[in-house]
């Protein structure tokens, strides 16, 4: 378990939302969409990530891989069907790209933070 305070735990959770927003922004930029399109794309996945966060209580140990997996699963399992309901379609290519990109972003920031912390710990020994 991490030694962060509850406020710092919340800041880690915000990184999950930022990762989902980054996914939407990158995808929408390739289609030259505006901010509203980006937010509309992100919304179902942010909701899904929140479901994963609540279900797994990731705030208890936000840097744990299991926390990232729960957020990722929530974003995909909830986000894709909600997105399909909103748009009336779900292209397989979008589902694959969304699944891979969300996993890379949600797990990726945890990997970077863990690596930086490990590096800092070794330098102080």
Q: Which two tokens stand for residue 75?
A: 């974003």
Contact 105, 20 (CB under 8 A): yes
Count Cα neighbours of 81 within 13 Å in the Cβ-side half-sphere.
Answer: 5
Domain assignment of residue 51, yes or no: yes
Q: What is the pLDDT of residues 86-115, one digit of tens each?
A: 999 999 999 999 999 999 999 999 999 999
Q: Which two tokens stand for residue 77?
A: 């399992």
How many helices, marked H, and strands, marked E, lie in the chain? 4, 0
Domain assignment of residue 15, yes or no: yes
Q: What is the pLDDT of residues 34-55, one digit of tens each?
A: 888 899 999 999 999 999 999 9
Domain assignment of residue 28, yes or no: yes
Q: What is the pLDDT of residues 54-66, one digit of tens each?
A: 999 999 999 999 9
Q: Which two tokens stand for residue 28?
A: 């929408």
Domain assignment of residue 1, yes or no: no
What is the spatial distance between Cα 25 and Cα 60, in angstroms, rounded to a whole number? 29
Residues spanned by the domain of 43: 6-123
Of the candidates 36, 62, 32, the residue with the CA atom closest to the CA atom of residue 49: 62
Q: Give the number of domains in the chain.
A: 1
Query: pTM for the whole thing?
Result: 0.85
Domain assignment of residue 64, yes or no: yes
């Amino acid at each position: 378990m991490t030694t962060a305070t509850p406020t710092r735990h919340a800041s880690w959770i915000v990184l999950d939302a930022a990762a989902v927003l980054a996914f939407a922004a990158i995808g929408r930029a390739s289609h030259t969409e505006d901010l509203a399109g980006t937010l509309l794309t992100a919304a179902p996945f942010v909701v899904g990530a929140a479901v994963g966060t609540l279900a797994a209580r990731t705030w208890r140990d936000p840097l744990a891989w299991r926390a990232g997996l729960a957020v990722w699963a929530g974003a995909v399992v909830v986000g894709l069907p909600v997105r399909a309901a909103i748009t009336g379609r779900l292209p397989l290519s979008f589902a694959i790209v969304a699944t891979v990109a969300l996993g890379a972003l949600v797990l990726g920031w945890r990997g970077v933070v863990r690596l930086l912390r490990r590096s800092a710990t070794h330098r102080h020994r």
